[in-house]
Amino acid sequence: MLSPRARKLGLSLHLTVSIGWIGAVLAYLGLGVTAVRSNEVQVIRAMWSAMDLTGWYIIVPLAVASLVTGLLMALGTKWGLFRHYWVVISLGLTLFAVAILILHMPSVSSTAEFAQLAEGAALDGLGGDLGHPGVGLMILLAVQVLNLYKPAGLTRYGWRKQQESRTRGPAIGDRD
């Protein structure tokens, strides 16, 4: 178990990177909308370049940091990793979002490279990248709601651990 000071530091870091991930996805969506709405070749090229850079240098690191800090918070606090359904679902959705993001980013890089090399007519209909980040944003918001409201419900593992702790008595650090 983390000490109260370490828990607060870890929670602060986790919240910062997680909310940053949501904000970066919103910025990415803004770039994608601009690319979709524009007919200007230079604007489309600039938006795809910005989406590529934003994805690799901001969104991916924040996503990985959110996953890692979330794991540390689950493992270092009373919530545990597999004790509560909301933690398991949150972990599953986060893993899914990170995996899709990492698998999707090479296609963003390819499209950004194509946008830089293509002539004006070839860029007609290229548009922006709205589907993946739109669905990703919905997943991130669902995870945020789960983590905020923490709906009741123990897994079988969590129920067993709860029964064991009742027979043993509270462990040091279980007072939080």
Q: What percent of the chain has pLDDT over 90?
A: 69
Looking at the structure of the chain, the number of domains it has is 1
Residue 173 located in a structural domain: no
* Residue 128 reports pLDDT greater than 80: no
Residue 172 located in a structural domain: no
Note the pLDDT of residue 155.
87
Question: 76: exposed, middle or buried (C-beta count within 10 Å: 0-12, 13-18, 19+)?
Answer: middle
Q: Which domain does 21 fall in, by range?
A: 4-167
Q: What is the pLDDT averaged over residues 92-118?
A: 95
Higher pLDDT, 128 or 81: 81
Per DSSP, what are the bridge partners of residue 86?
A: none
* Residue 173 reports pLDDT greater than 60: no
Note the pLDDT of residue 170.
61
